[in-house]
Structure 1
Amino acid sequence: MRKPKRSVLLSLCALAALAGCARDSGPAPLLGTLEWDRIAVPAEVSEPIVQILVKEGDHVAADQLLLTLDPRRTQAQVDAAQADVLRLSAALDELRHGARIETIDASRAALVRTQATALNARLARDRAAEIRRKGLNSQSDLDNADAVLRQANADAKAAQANLDELLHGTRPEDLAQGEASLAQAQATLAQLQVTLQRLSVRAPRAGRVDTLPFKLGDRPAAGASVVSLLVGDAPYARVFVPEPVRASLQQGARFNVRVDGVAQAFSATAVRIASEATFTPYYALSGDDASRLAWRAELELDAPAARDLPAGIPCQATLLVGKSVADK
């Protein structure tokens, strides 16, 4: 009775060994997940969301309006910047055109008035000095007359300088300062106009709406992602290449990719292979430990049916030995 049992056990062991050999005859599949390229569209400023025009899962075209942030505050800043540009532009035109003839005539009249005042002050000072020599007034009276004369002369010199400035025109340095101020105001206006446009959040490229993390009325922080888009023609398989396979795997290698829950197998091409190990730095391993290294690789799926697959599904990629992109 024992011999038949022993033969059965030996047969089962032989079958198991053969099955193991059959499994080991081909390359082991590379494990990973399906992924899409993602684009995060940020909020330009922190303003409440006043309009949402898409839903998660919607396909959108490039430059399509997705949602709108409240533009009133930024619009007011744009209006103020536009007024500042107009003010500085008018000031620069005034500098370029020089003084009006009426302003020059008024300056000449002011000079004549101050010169007449200075002449009267000189005559009064001379009379005070003559009277002082006769001893008929005090020294303080003469000092007061001297002070009035000095002030009148200073006023006349200031009026003369003001007239000369008007007659000589605007200095080049003043023009340069005016032009620089206007350019700065125009740059500020352009920046605010860009910010105002981006309050209408648009798709930077065609894709599918993945997530809308905020709801109507929410006020996201400046720079926070308000829309996440999945972009590209199809998802790709992100798999991890073990160390024994890495040396023989090159870009352009062909794979069969099986996705969990999908009966159809997809053809794929290796388009990117990381240059550095993903899990452990290469310099930290030596000898037998080097077999624990893994490199991230991305396999581009060929079938159009892959366009509808979501991200994150586990998948297995089997290398087609001897096949490359040139054999397609």
Structure 2
Amino acid sequence: MKDSFLKLFPFAALQQAIARCSILLFALITACQPGPDRALGTLEWDRIALLAPAAEKIVAVHVREGERLDAGQVVLQLDDRNTRAQLAAAQAEVARLRASLEELENGPRSEEIARARASLAAARAEEKDARQNYQRLRQLGGEDFISQADIDRAKATADTASARVESDQAALLELQRGTRSEEIVQGEAALAQAEAQAEAQAVVLQKLTLQAPRGGLLDSLPFKLGDEAPVGGPLAIMLVGDTPYARVYIPEPLRPGIKVGDRAQVFIQGMAKPFGGRVRMIRSEPSFTPYFALTGDDVARLSYLAEIQLGVDAVDLPAGLPLRAEFAGEGHGSDAR
């Protein structure tokens, strides 16, 4: 019996050692997990993209990546020769339509009316001569001195002269009555359309000189000198805003106790002092926990994307730093200072 006990003793000791190691390992893992009031994320800045207004070649770059820009500072220049030509054509069309509208508003000139009257007088004279010739030939035809074909041709000539008299009378009357109001409205509409097209080309020309819309840090220039970006392609990416913000993923059990405006403390690795901030946004729709927050029981939990606006003490921090946030809203301890 004693021998049997001695044989079993090393195994029992081994079991105790394994149990102690398991407890120690669990303690280490638990210490590495975020607490119930913590959320993981990254440091971010608000980003704006300067898009290409036209598919033109980059002919000049005036800044470098990482440079801090002022509002209105020129970033780069696109080739504007094609746009300038289109603008000149649009402006020429505006001038033509403006002159045409002025002509419609002024009405016909006195010289045009006099010319129309002279043309009508000539048409009446020709009609009289053609009508008299037809009458003579018709009398001769009754005495069989001329063929019926000649009489028909004389009648056609007389009728043509009469039609011309009516046409010239209508043309003279049109000039005397002046321009119709509908024609003036059409001229005004055509001029307005041409002016709008010219203004649009002028705006495009101005946009070809790419300027910073507000102050900030130039994060990247996706296209280089000589490249031709497609319309709407990002020519420059800027980081803007007075201070950065923490983009964190709030675990589902923590979500009911956090609301917009709650205080939070943000801890960044390598910095002893935390940064204070306030929650500025929380998504209403949950998502799956991101890969960098997959620790322990959080693997199977949903999370809610939130943003924490930091204070001026974080203004020099770069984007992309990993961080964790601890909340101090109602039900989460005292306010962070």
TM-score, with length taken from structure 2: 0.86
The equivalent residue for 2:308 is 299
Compare 306-315 and 6-15 and name the one that shifted more: 6-15
Structure 2 CA distance for partners of 1:324 and 1:160, relative to 1, 3 Å: farther
Q: Is 1:161 aligned to 2:170, yes or no? A: yes
Displacement of 1:261: 3.4
Structure 2 CA distance for partners of 1:25 and 1:228, relative to 1, 3 Å: closer
The equivalent residue for 2:277 is 268
The equivalent residue for 1:93 is 102
Compare 260-269 and 94-103 and name the one that shifted more: 260-269
Structure 2 CA distance for partners of 1:130 and 1:291, relative to 1, 3 Å: same
User: CA separation in 1, counterparts of 2:34 and 2:59?
Assistant: 61
Identity %: 42
SS for the counterpart of 2:288 is coil
Q: Unmatched 5+ residue regions in structure 1?
A: 281-287
User: CA separation in 1, counterparts of 2:276 and 2:298?
Assistant: 33
User: CA separation in 2, counterparts of 1:306 and 1:80?
Assistant: 52
Structure 2 CA distance for partners of 1:8 and 1:216, relative to 1, 3 Å: closer
Name the aligned partner's letter for residue 223 of structure 1: G
Residues 136-192 of structure 1 deviation map (CA, whole Å, 9 limit, x = unaligned) = 000000000011001111111111111000000001111111111001101101111
SS for the counterpart of 2:230 is coil
User: CA separation in 2, counterparts of 1:25 and 1:42?
Assistant: 40
Displacement of 1:87: 0.4
> Is residue 50–residue 234 contact of structure 2 (8 Å, CA) maintained in 1?
yes
Residues 39-67 of structure 1 deviation map (CA, whole Å, 9 limit, x = unaligned) = 01101001111111111111111222111
The equivalent residue for 2:147 is 138
> Is residue 257–residue 329 contact of structure 2 (8 Å, CA) maintained in 1?
no
Displacement of 1:311: 1.5
Which of the residues 122, 130, 134 maps onto 1:121?
130
Q: Unmatched 5+ residue regions in structure 2?
A: 1-9, 290-296
Which of the residues 31, 55, 61 maps onto 1:52?
61
TM-score, with length taken from structure 1: 0.88
Displacement of 1:312: 1.5
Q: Is 1:314 aligned to 2:329, yes or no? A: no
Displacement of 1:278: 2.0
Name the aligned partner's letter for residue 306 of structure 1: A
Q: Is 1:245 aligned to 2:245, yes or no? A: no
The equivalent residue for 1:236 is 245
User: CA separation in 2, counterparts of 1:69 and 1:26?
Assistant: 52
The equivalent residue for 2:220 is 211
Which of the residues 170, 179, 184 maps onto 2:179?
170
What does residue range 279-298 of structure 1 map to in structure 2 within 5 Å? 279=288, 292-298=301-307
The equivalent residue for 2:292 is none
Name the aligned partner's letter for residue 57 of structure 1: G
Structure 2 CA distance for partners of 1:9 and 1:49, relative to 1, 3 Å: closer
User: CA separation in 2, counterparts of 1:18 and 1:48?
Assistant: 61
> Is residue 41–residue 227 contact of structure 1 (8 Å, CA) maintained in 2?
yes
Name the aligned partner's letter for residue 317 of structure 2: L
Structure 2 CA distance for partners of 1:273 and 1:206, relative to 1, 3 Å: same
Structure 2 CA distance for partners of 1:154 and 1:312, relative to 1, 3 Å: same
Q: Is 1:65 aligned to 2:74, yes or no? A: yes
